[in-house]
Amino acid sequence: MSTRRSVAFIGSECYPFVKTGGLGDVMYALPKALTKQNCDVKVILPRYKCIPWKYQEKMVYRGEFHMDLCADGRTYYVGIMEYVWDGVVYDFIDNEEFFGFGNPYTNLVDDIPKFCFFGKAALAALNYLNWIPDIIHCHDWQAGLVPVYLRTLFADTPIGNARTILTIHNLRFQGVYNIPTIQYWSGLPGYVFNKDALMQNWLDANMLKGGLTYCDLITTVSNTYAGEIQTPFYGEGLDAHLRYHSGKLRGIVNGIDVDLWNSATDARLAEPYDISSVLTGKKENKRALQEQLGLVQDDHMFVIGLISRLTDQKSLDLVNAILPQLIDGHTQVVVLGTGDERYESAFRYYEGAYKGYVCSNIMYDEGRAHMIYAGSDALLVPSLFEPCGLTQLIAMRYGTVPIVRETGGLKDTVQPYNQYTNWGYGFTFDRYESGLLLDAVNRAKTLYFTNRWCWDEMVQRDMDVDVSWEKSAEQYRSLYMELKP
């Protein structure tokens, strides 16, 4: 643990201030875990209008300056507001013009200038505060220009020697716009707009692509996904670029907040349980779930949970195709989530058609999610692609056996059950076919109904897996050490 590392996280969202997805969780949990591992962490975020007032009112003014941003020398105000919580320092970049209207993301026309400004202001703020980190850890396309700025406009400033890591949480969003616009708003020199750095299709600039070129290391949120994104199917148009830079690409799986997700202390459960009481505890929670959702009350039912955004990415067409074959008088399916109209309607239809055996909660309700994790026997995660995935980790922590497609983080975290060695954490299938998903569910049901002793062992084995951030934070820390000898 000897050497202390200072790390600046730069990204567009962070729980509890502002969160739209998994990125917000990582920006919160990883710095917290790193402070426990002898890292000095500062998180830099935009000060959006939508950050709740209870946090805004506790922010402390740390200074302000004007920064030239655009190619024509146009300058902008940069204010720095600070909030310290749980050993982590949060610095919010204040500018009414860019962050004054509500939500973090609006549309590309507004978001491109906003994040050109944010990336440059974050670096300028570190220089202004004279807080010079060893490592600058950037997240997704919104911070994609940070490594580019650092190696060009900031190369001769105090911060110029920092090393950079860029983490890809979701490759689908890249910050692509025409070259003149990004050149104007970033004020970056013309030579970075070449086909090996920012340029794409000769006419556009791609902020994420530029960051991938100029950063020292690229990470993504699982080992398998790191390999997948180098193929055309998962590469979202950047697969060749990622293959070229594969030497600096690593995969580290996310963790989950084990205090928030803890079946032994979870106040939302009918009966909290731990690894020693899971077999009776799950029975109580299943009964409560059946009662609350109007399902047939029967301890012998095999209850399958599905907690997901109802979109194509989550492979709901496969679930849709096999659902009628799952309902056999011994199986119940509980769905929770919102999304595409056609999936919402399909699940509502199934609830009507199979009263007492299917319950579709077309909403997002955190409390109900906790109950489904605790009351289900298995959780379905058949995603088309899944960079990391958190639901399978939460399920394991609650002793709920995951049934997943072998992609991204699902493949890395769920070792398939092997009946000969009686080992594994769940049931998996590989190709994207509804028949294979049905087969995986049937293998799970067979074990559950014909060999309950082996099933119960798997439940306890899953609860025993370390899904905390601690392990991931250790891996990030060793990357930081590797970068800065």
In this structure, the answer to whether residues 183 and 142 fall within a common structural domain is yes
d(CA 306, CA 379): 6
270 assigned to some structural domain:
no
Q: Where residue 484 falls among pLDDT bands split at 50, 70, 90?
A: confident
In this structure, the answer to whether residues 295 and 428 fall within a common structural domain is yes
Comparing 40-44, 145-149, 277-281, 385-389, the range with the smallest average pLDDT is 385-389
262 assigned to some structural domain:
no
Q: Where residue 440 falls among pLDDT bands split at 50, 70, 90?
A: very high
Check whether 54 has a pLDDT greater than 90. yes
Residue 94 CA, distance from chain mean position: 26
Q: Where residue 106 falls among pLDDT bands split at 50, 70, 90?
A: confident
Check whether 1 has a pLDDT greater than 60. no
Q: What percent of the chain has pLDDT over 90?
A: 89
Check whether 2 has a pLDDT greater than 80. no
Taking Cα atoms as reference points, which of 153, 141, 36 lies closest to residue 477?
A: 36
Q: Output the pLDDT for position 135.
A: 97
179 assigned to some structural domain:
yes
| Alpha helical stretches, state H, 327-451 | 341-353, 366-375, 391-397, 408-413, 434-450
In this structure, the answer to whether residues 245 and 331 fall within a common structural domain is no
In this structure, the answer to whether residues 222 and 370 fall within a common structural domain is no
d(CA 485, CA 483): 6
d(CA 388, CA 3): 30
Q: Where residue 25 falls among pLDDT bands split at 50, 70, 90?
A: confident
347 assigned to some structural domain:
yes
CB 120 within 8 A of CB 186: yes
State the average pLDDT over residues 101-114: 89
Q: Where residue 460 falls among pLDDT bands split at 50, 70, 90?
A: very high
Stated as kind and residue range, the H or E segment containing 122 is: helix 108-129
In this structure, the answer to whether residues 479 and 461 fall within a common structural domain is no
Check whether 47 has a pLDDT greater than 80. yes
Q: Output the pLDDT for position 309.
A: 87
Structurally, how many domains does the chain consist of?
A: 2
Q: Output the pLDDT for position 101.
A: 80
pLDDT tens, 444-453? 999 999 999 9
Rounded alpha-carbon distances, angstroms, from residue 463 to 173, 405, 424, 474: 34, 20, 12, 21
In this structure, the answer to whether residues 353 and 217 fall within a common structural domain is no
> What is the C-alpha end-to-end distance of the chain, expressed in Å?
14
408 assigned to some structural domain:
yes
Q: What percent of the chain has pLDDT over 70?
A: 99
Check whether 344 has a pLDDT greater than 80. yes
210 assigned to some structural domain:
yes
In this structure, the answer to whether residues 246 and 100 fall within a common structural domain is yes
Residue 204 Rama label (left phi>0; alpha psi -120 to 50; beta): beta
Residue 201, C-beta contacts closer than 8 angstroms, at least 6 positions apart:
none
72 assigned to some structural domain:
yes
Supply the mean pLDDT for the chain. 95
- Sign of the four-CA dihedral 42, 44, 45, 51: positive
- Sign of the four-CA dihedral 101, 106, 107, 110: positive
In this structure, the answer to whether residues 237 and 374 fall within a common structural domain is no
Q: Which is more confident, 170 or 199? A: 199
Stated as kind and residue range, the H or E segment containing 111 is: helix 108-129
In this structure, the answer to whether residues 75 and 210 fall within a common structural domain is yes
Check whether 257 has a pLDDT greater than 60. yes
In this structure, the answer to whether residues 200 and 301 fall within a common structural domain is no
CATH code (residue 82):
3.40.50.2000
pLDDT tens, 277-312? 999 999 999 999 999 999 999 999 999 999 998 988
110 assigned to some structural domain:
yes
3-state secondary structure of 193: coil
State the average pLDDT over residues 12-17: 94
Q: Where residue 436 falls among pLDDT bands split at 50, 70, 90?
A: very high
Q: Sheet containing 249-251: which strands, arranged edge to edge?
A: 60-68, 75-85, 88-94, 39-46, 5-10, 135-139, 163-168, 217-220, 249-251
Check whether 194 has a pLDDT greater than 90. yes
β-bridge partners, 89: 42, 84
Rounded alpha-carbon distances, angstroms, from residue 485 to 5, 134, 214: 11, 10, 19
Q: Where residue 485 falls among pLDDT bands split at 50, 70, 90?
A: low
In this structure, the answer to whether residues 461 and 479 fall within a common structural domain is no
In this structure, the answer to whether residues 246 and 294 fall within a common structural domain is no
Check whether 429 has a pLDDT greater than 90. yes
β-bridge partners, 78: 65
Q: By residue range, what is the domain housing residue 20? A: 5-255+470-483
